[in-house]
């Protein structure tokens, strides 16, 4: 979700998009395995799919719908010491000069009216970037970014609860739309971590 507005609105190196996902143990599915057993999963940052991730084709398909040039994505995934949540860091290399205000404008315009997208823009503090801890138990996708002027790169960050936004919450959201309910009906949870 963090990539779409950038792909659609800026001139970028469409064949050099890097997606790095940090995934909690629930992202491994419900099949028991040693890799997701607590004693093995505790205190880890373990690469489990550095290349050839199964979601790469899906990401490319959706981004190619927004881009005039062919989009290629290189995706890596790491298991981390959390149960729920995904933190996705994307690296997009620019072909033009872009200011933060331009990117914020693009995000606001792209996601206007979307009740479950939150743009994170804090200047300081431990939660100045999207953090899975703040979206666990919600249907929100938190999005933020930084610009690396040294090499003309945008680094986007997004966080979701894979069990809500990535699964059940999206199903409820779609059902609400299909049956004419308010889109956020039953999905107004504030999250499990107090701020």
Cα-Cα-Cα-Cα dihedral sign, residues 130, 143, 92, 4: positive
Of 165, 173, 169, 153, which Cα lies nearest the Cα of 1? 165
- Residue written as tokens 């990117």? 103
User: How do residues 16-26 score in pLDDT, each as one tens digit?
Assistant: 999 999 998 77
Q: What is the 3-state secondary structure (H, E, C) of the chain?
A: CCCHHHHHHCCECCCCEEEEEEECHHHHCCCCCHHHCHHHHCCCEEEEECCCCCCHHHHHHHHHCCCCCCCCEEEEEEEECCCCCEEEEEEEEECCCCCHHHHHHHHHHHHCCCCCEEECCCCCCCCCCCCHHHHCCCCCEEEEEEEECCCCEEEEEEEECCCHHHHHHHHHHHHHHHCCCCCCCCCCCCCCCCC
CA 89 – CA 154 distance, rounded (Å): 10
CA 92 – CA 102 distance, rounded (Å): 15
User: How do residues 78-129 score in pLDDT, each as one tens digit?
Assistant: 999 988 999 999 999 999 999 999 999 999 999 999 999 999 988 777 888 9
Laid out side by side, the sheet with 45-49 consists of 45-49, 73-80, 17-23, 86-93, 153-160, 141-148, 117-119
- pTM of structure: 0.91
**Average pLDDT over every residue of 35-52:** 81
The answer, yes or no, to whether residue 40 has pLDDT greater than 80, is: no
At residue 187, the pLDDT reads: 94
The structural domains of the chain, ordered by start, are: 4-178 (3.30.360.10)
């Amino acid at each position: 979700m963090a990539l779409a507005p950038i792909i659609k609105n800026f001139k970028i190196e469409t064949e050099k998009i890097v997606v790095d996902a940090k995934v909690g143990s629930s992202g491994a599915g419900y099949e028991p395995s040693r890799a997701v057993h607590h004693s093995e999963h505790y205190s880890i940052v373990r690469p489990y799919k550095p290349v050839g991730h199964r979601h790469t084709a899906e990401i490319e398909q959706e981004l190619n719908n927004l881009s005039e040039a062919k989009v290629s994505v290189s995706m890596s995934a790491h298991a981390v010491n959390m149960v729920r949540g995904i933190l996705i860091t994307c690296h997009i290399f620019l072909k033009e000069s872009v200011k933060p205000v331009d990117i914020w404008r693009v995000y606001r315009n792209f996601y206007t009216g979307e009740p479950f997208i939150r743009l994170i823009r804090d200047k300081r503090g431990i939660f100045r970037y999207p953090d899975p801890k703040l979206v666990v138990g919600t249907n929100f996708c938190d999005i933020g970014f930084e610009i690396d002027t040294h090499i003309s790169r945008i680094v986007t960050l997004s966080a979701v609860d894979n069990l809500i936004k990535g699964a059940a919450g999206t199903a409820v959201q779609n059902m609400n739309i299909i049956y004419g309910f308010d889109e956020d009906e039953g999905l107004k949870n504030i999250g499990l971590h107090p701020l």
